[in-house]
Structure 1
Amino acid sequence: MIGKVLRGQRVQGLIRYLYGPGRDEEHHNPRIVAGFRSPAELEPTIRTGGGLDFRQLDGLLTQPLAALGEHSYRKPVWHLPVRAAPEDPILTDQQWAQIAADIMARTGLAPPGDDDSVRWIAVRHADDHIHIVATLARTDGVRPEVWNDGYRVREACRAAEDRLGLRRTAPADRTAARRTSRGETEKAIRNGRTEPPRTVLRRSVQTAAAGARTEGEFFALLQAEGLLVRRRVSQRQPDQVTGYAVALPDDRTAAGQPVWYGGGKLAADLTLPKLRARWTRPGPHSGPAGPPSADYQPVSGRHLSERSARAVLRTTVRQAADQARTPDEFFDSLHRAGLLIRQRLSTVEPGQVTGYAVSLPDLLGSDGKPLWLTGGRLAEDLTWPRLQRRWNGGAHDRCDHAVLSSEERRAIYDDAARAAAYATAQIRRCTVIDPHAARDACWAAADILRSAARATGNPHLRRAADAYDRAARAPYGRIPQPTPAGNGLRTAARLLLLAGRVESAVAGTVETLTKALIVLVDAIAPLHRSQHRDVQAQACGEAGQCLRRIGHLPSACWMTKPGVRDPSDLAMTGFPTPWSTISTRASSAFERDAADPHSLRKGDQIPPATGKRNV
């Protein structure tokens, strides 16, 4: 059951529409089923000619507005259509009346026993829905508050679902992206678009956020995508950016102006403060020189191979060298990028730099020590003598920072699969121990799906990222605390955009990454089920189905040998009460071996919590 709050100015026109035939003759037997008085008292009388007389009803509803006068709302008519699902049974008038009264009570507009509450009616002219109409003025001359009324309506709808056994719908937990309006959809069809602009912009902004490490990089990626970008500045501090909006160049209003969408109008986690939270998250310490700049999220080397790290370091060092004019500017730029720096000083002239080496936080060699790479090991034009000649006015040909070899691209894709596997293990562990600790990895999984879709250009990956979208966000707009698993996924997402598409000779790496992503989303679904977030778990299932369509990958597992038990199964051994009927092994494609291919089926439920701690 769903309800949508609408606001209007004139109650007379709305009442006549509800009692009329409708736009397509869909209204049948309109009648009042509930209201601030008994339905028999409020029902319009029939005139001599057969028409309905609405004068008494109009007067009763508008009288409090006239008493409130200039203190009334600009749109004082509160209109709420409430609709049941097509598969739900047809409710009686008494059941709809109970639902309407509960909604008015939960919103605070007409609490039980309050004789001075707003005046309202509930009109039914179809089997599957009613319309609640109220005028926002109390009879005691007070203007009622309607703050967050949509969330109270959602609570009332879910209560009716539980009470009457109706189809269970999602709670209003602010994890859903903003829906496309009917006008936007019809405009897209008229203009020959396959998708509404809001959907296209949301996907582009999410991909740019996944590939950016700073606010400047984020806006640069949006402009490189061909989007129009408008920054909102503070009225008190003109040099401070407080928000942004994006638009498609060919999406215009009737007056020829771009149709702008703010980040919050696309999704709850795409506002500028939420994006800044992901870029300013604390990372590993970057060396004795101090932490990197506050607006930069360093790349961790935790899940990177030496080839991938060399590609990242070469790209970062070359970009810093192109922007710098002196050695000091060069080292400052590397430091702000979060790189570890080690300078080689002359033994003849103390203080003179004769060379340098760089590394990434958590990038360790086989001996367990930091892995340092000199400029000469990165590229011939990045040796210290070549850089000095460039800064002294020598000739220099700029290179494309994103030029990578086939081996480096393969290494980046393999490292992304390794980061996904590490996150999968941590999510399974947290599902048993502390589900809230896995929120960061669930959020970051959306980034790697978006980046993989953009890097490969695969439509199934793009649909998987779209399907997973709601499963990524924490309820009520919360930003989870950063974790190594989440940071590893975000690093992999940025590197996938750097690597781009791979050649056919190394295309098998895409299949390896896809398998790891299937296991990742399959591991997230039981986590949501354990917290009774069925819609998010369903989103994970849809994303997994889209991923399995890539190359017709089977849903049986690939990498786990028969007979190997899942770590969460071993962790739960000996517990007095099993934590759920869902086997975490069965929840992921890695663990569905041939010995038990039917251990999880649609409809498996988490058992109700007992008196013991619900893990």
Structure 2
Amino acid sequence: MISRVHPRGRRVAGLLRYLYGPGRREEHRNPRLVAAWDGAGDLQSLEPRITAAGKRDFRRLVTLLEEPVRRIERPPKRYVWHTSMRLAPEDRARTFSDETWGHMAREMLREIGVATPADDEGLRWVVVRHGDDHVHIVATLVREDGRISWLRNDYPRTVAATYDVARRYGLRRAVAPADRTAHRRPSAAELNKSARRGRRETPRDELRRRVRMAVAGAATETEFFDRVRGAGLLLRLRNSTTASGQVTGYAVALPADLTADGMPVYYGGGKLAADLALPKLRRRWASPASTDVPPVGRAERTAALADAARVTRAAADEIRQTAYADPARAQAAALAASDLLTALAYTVEGDRRGNLTRVAETFDKAARDIRGRVVGHTGRSYELRAMSRLVVLMGRVSGDGDMLAALALMMDLARLADALEHLRHAQRRLHQAQAARSAAAALRELADRPGMPAGSSLTPTPATGPSMATPRRTDLSR
């Protein structure tokens, strides 16, 4: 089952005439009311009657729906709320009665706050059915007590409520509730520019990847800035306008990404990803990680990877144990584990975007919190971040011993991804649960690859990726 929230309107009468009319392709058959607000009375009395001329008279129903709107002095300009609920194609063979459709719509409306008990002077709404597989819901956004209900964030709330209804009725859940963790998508202009220049990824995506590698290997703000410059990126710091010498933000650019005037195109950290804004990075670095560079050799590198695997196993156990009791603690470990996998990808593949780097990006989607939120540190997250930085300091994998240790760490990170999937299911963040499952499967596939030569990269021969020649336009209507 899926819901669609339509643009808000100004006229109840026009919408009802369309819903009771033939439709654009004669798809509206036998339109009728199947539910209405508490206190509306009998549905038969609300049903628009057919006049002697063979047309429906909507005046009484429109008057009842608009009555709270007409009573206030300054009603909202667009007070008509319209959504539809539709069965997934796999469920359209099932036939539900009008009463069942009315119950499903009422349950969804109750979850998002449109339907209220009879003793609550809430909104007025009706459910119209004119087909076997869907219904339409029309509501006016002024409560009977005169207050306006703005129904903010109505789309994600409606999707989540519809998902719950589908689960209770054994229907296919076509769209999982939004988890509000996705990065900002590149604009059509960015995609077109990258396609013209033959780039496999947009500057925004490349900068995000490189900045994450710098974050994974840094213990302090100064070290982070040094690593960004060392990666060949242009760095611009933003200073406070009130406190002299205080840095409040940063922006990065690729030297080859220029405007028509030859100026670099800078992206602020928060524009790359919500959790890469400088204040949130500072919360990550609030750890006692040592800034001393240890002696580096193959034996030390192997030992460091083995230590990281040990800490990863302990973190996986902790995430499973705290998924329900202390999800914030589990979240701290998951975000720090994302840095460790990013560091491992850099150690094995360097700056090239190979398979392991792609897995790290998928794992990052599963690990990040809502709106880039960074939770407080725990002892386990301190350990993971220390291991992340140590792995970066150890340098590139170069022989059989450290490659085998890297593969063993991948297997332990796959087990941690399994635990992360368990956490996201507990939180009902199903997009992230799917990302964790994909990351775990990909890590096992890479670690089990037979005949991996010593010191080899996991980067395959470049294959044709998603084309940027025909970018999709981003829907800015919501």
Q: TM-score range by the shorter chain?
A: 0.5 to 0.7
Higher-Rg member (1/2): 1
State the match for 2:122 in structure 1.
Answer: 117
State the match for 2:384 in structure 1.
Answer: 489
1:118–1:139 CA contact under 8 A, matched in 2:
yes
State the match for 2:412 in structure 1.
Answer: 519
* 2: CA distance, partners of 1:42 / 1:225: 69
The equivalent position to 1:449 in structure 2, one of 341, 347, 359, is 341
Deviation at residue 111 of structure 1 after TM alignment: 0.3
Within-5 A mapping of 1:393-542: 407=297, 411-412=300-301, 415-428=304-317, 431=320, 436=326, 437-455=329-347, 456=349, 457=352, 459-473=354-368, 479-497=374-392, 501-502=396-397, 505-506=398-399, 509-526=402-419, 529=422, 533=426, 535=430, 538-542=434-438
Summarize the Cα distance change of 1:33–1:544 in structure 2 as closer, same or farther, 3 Å threshold: same
* 1: CA distance, partners of 2:36 / 2:201: 41
Deviation at residue 138 of structure 1 after TM alignment: 1.7
2:34–2:102 CA contact under 8 A, matched in 1:
yes
Deviation at residue 100 of structure 1 after TM alignment: 1.9
Alignment pair present for 1:70 and 2:55: no
State the match for 2:112 in structure 1.
Answer: 107
Summarize the Cα distance change of 1:114–1:487 in structure 2 as closer, same or farther, 3 Å threshold: same
Deviation at residue 102 of structure 1 after TM alignment: 1.8
State the match for 2:440 in structure 1.
Answer: 544
Report the 3-state secondary structure (helix = DSSP H, G, I; strand = E; otherwise coil) of the residue aligned with 1:310. coil
2:414–2:443 CA contact under 8 A, matched in 1:
no
State the match for 2:472 in structure 1.
Answer: none
Spell out, residue by residue over 1:150-177, the C-alpha distance to the aligned partner (whole angstroms, 9 max, x if none): 6754663354234212346898695x52
Deviation at residue 75 of structure 1 after TM alignment: 5.3
State the match for 1:135 in structure 2.
Answer: 140
Alignment pair present for 1:310 and 2:295: yes
User: What letter is aligned with 2:333?
Assistant: A
1:85–1:167 CA contact under 8 A, matched in 2:
yes
State the match for 1:330 in structure 2.
Answer: none
Summarize the Cα distance change of 1:482–1:228 in structure 2 as closer, same or farther, 3 Å threshold: closer
State the match for 1:371 in structure 2.
Answer: none
* 1: CA distance, partners of 2:156 / 2:70: 29
Q: 86-95 vs 444-453, which deviates more?
A: 86-95
Within-5 A mapping of 1:370-409: 407=297
User: Any gaps of 5 or more consecutive residues in structure 1?
Assistant: 253-257, 284-297, 302-307, 312-406, 555-615
State the match for 2:8 in structure 1.
Answer: 8
State the match for 2:103 in structure 1.
Answer: 98
Spell out, residue by residue over 1:240-267, the C-alpha distance to the aligned partner (whole angstroms, 9 max, x if none): 7777788999799xxxxx8978838945
Spell out, residue by residue over 1:249-303, the C-alpha distance to the aligned partner (whole angstroms, 9 max, x if none): 9799xxxxx8978838945x4555443321224x2xxxxxxxxxxxxxx3378xx
Report the 3-state secondary structure (helix = DSSP H, G, I; strand = E; otherwise coil) of the residue aligned with 2:294. helix
Summarize the Cα distance change of 1:480–1:123 in structure 2 as closer, same or farther, 3 Å threshold: same
- Number of equivalenced pairs: 426
Within-5 A mapping of 1:334-349: none
2:408–2:447 CA contact under 8 A, matched in 1:
no
State the match for 2:455 in structure 1.
Answer: none
Alignment pair present for 1:210 and 2:210: no
* 2: CA distance, partners of 1:225 / 1:526: 36
Report the 3-state secondary structure (helix = DSSP H, G, I; strand = E; otherwise coil) of the residue aligned with 1:482. coil
Spell out, residue by residue over 1:131-164, the C-alpha distance to the aligned partner (whole angstroms, 9 max, x if none): 4343321233211253565675466335423421
Spell out, residue by residue over 1:431-469, the C-alpha distance to the aligned partner (whole angstroms, 9 max, x if none): 458974554322211112223334513532233223323
Deviation at residue 539 of structure 1 after TM alignment: 3.5
Q: Report the identity percentage.
A: 37
Deviation at residue 107 of structure 1 after TM alignment: 2.6
* 1: CA distance, partners of 2:5 / 2:250: 27
* 1: CA distance, partners of 2:104 / 2:284: 42
Summarize the Cα distance change of 1:240–1:458 in structure 2 as closer, same or farther, 3 Å threshold: closer
User: What letter is aligned with 2:312?
Assistant: A
The equivalent position to 2:285 in structure 1, one of 252, 269, 279, is 279
1:464–1:547 CA contact under 8 A, matched in 2:
yes
Summarize the Cα distance change of 1:259–1:483 in structure 2 as closer, same or farther, 3 Å threshold: closer
Deviation at residue 472 of structure 1 after TM alignment: 1.9
User: What letter is aligned with 2:286?
Assistant: T
* 2: CA distance, partners of 1:241 / 1:417: 37
Report the 3-state secondary structure (helix = DSSP H, G, I; strand = E; otherwise coil) of the residue aligned with 2:74. helix
* 1: CA distance, partners of 2:3 / 2:233: 37
Deviation at residue 119 of structure 1 after TM alignment: 2.8
Within-5 A mapping of 1:10-49: 10=10, 29=29, 31=31, 33-36=34-37, 37=40
* 2: CA distance, partners of 1:194 / 1:14: 46
* 1: CA distance, partners of 2:3 / 2:172: 14
1:30–1:123 CA contact under 8 A, matched in 2:
no
1:452–1:497 CA contact under 8 A, matched in 2:
yes
1:117–1:138 CA contact under 8 A, matched in 2:
yes
Deviation at residue 60 of structure 1 after TM alignment: 5.5
* 2: CA distance, partners of 1:150 / 1:270: 27
Deviation at residue 424 of structure 1 after TM alignment: 0.7
Deviation at residue 4 of structure 1 after TM alignment: 6.2
Summarize the Cα distance change of 1:440–1:84 in structure 2 as closer, same or farther, 3 Å threshold: farther
- Structure 1-normalised TM-score? 0.53
User: What letter is aligned with 1:165?
Assistant: G
CA RMSD of aligned residues (A): 5.3
